[in-house]
Amino acid sequence: MRQVVLDTETTGIDPKQGHRIIEIGCVEMIGRKLTNRHFHVYINPDREVEEEAFQVHGISNEFLADKPRFHEVAQEFFDFIKGAELIIHNAPFDIGFMDHEFARIGGYPKTAEVCSVFDSLVYARKKHPGQKNNLDVLCRRYGIDNSHRELHGALLDSEILADVYLLMTGGQTSLGLSNGSDSDSKEDGSEEVIRRLSADRPRLKVIRPNEQELKMHEERLDLIDKKSGQSLWRKPEQPLN
């Protein structure tokens, strides 16, 4: 299955009030693996960015002044998403803006006519009822480092959402327990042979950290402590039941 993780940034919250898309970020996955293909563009909306929106994404009117209009990038964007399952956090927001932009220039179908849509926010609410499920909270819940995310950005957020989606919908499925046979089933139903290592193989060489590396490790834990309260690596060990 081809999937596209997608996010947009906009001038405001409602396209019916004339607000426009100013950034689109997409990353492609095939078979639940990132392909390193992406689509990313900034767009001149021909209107002012509201101050509240600017505080969220930090994209200024001056920055957007020399960027292309949506009609100049529409076909490339449409070709990238066509036929894929779109993974979007709070999909009605982004799909609403996308359909509004395509309708403005005409000649394009609604997104739902050419793509299926997986709303990761709806899924997260079902999986974690009664809890906050925004992207920052999900990153903390699933142990994803988003410390470089000071402001929202469409491409960065789509990359982070791809990690969240994979963990939230199955985690590291390739590390699942075997049923005792010498093969295990992949998600597509095919069999994957488990390669057994010889018991008398040479012992693995253990490379221990030097003083500089230990210092850098402690500095990284200090940073994690500052941002999250306390890192897992510094929590006292819990007695086994």
Provide the pLDDT for residue 207: 83
Provide the pLDDT for residue 199: 60
Look up 40 and say whether it is catalytic.
Answer: no
Tokens linked to 84: 């894929």
Distance (Å, whole) CA 82 – CA 74: 12
Provide the pLDDT for residue 221: 76
What is the rounded average pLDDT of the residues 106-110?
97
Dihedral of the alpha carbons of 98, 41, 50, 66, in degrees to the nearest 10: -130
Q: Tally the residues of the chain.
A: 241
Tokens linked to 139: 């990153």
- Which listed residue (19, 57, 89, 152) is catalytic? 152
What is the rounded average pLDDT of the residues 169-176?
55
DSSP 8-class letter at 214:
H
- Residue 183, C-beta contacts closer than 8 angstroms, at least 6 positions apart: 191, 192, 193, 194
Above pLDDT 90, what percent of the chain? 63
- Contact in structure between 142 and 126 (CB atoms under 8 Å): no
Provide the pLDDT for residue 212: 86
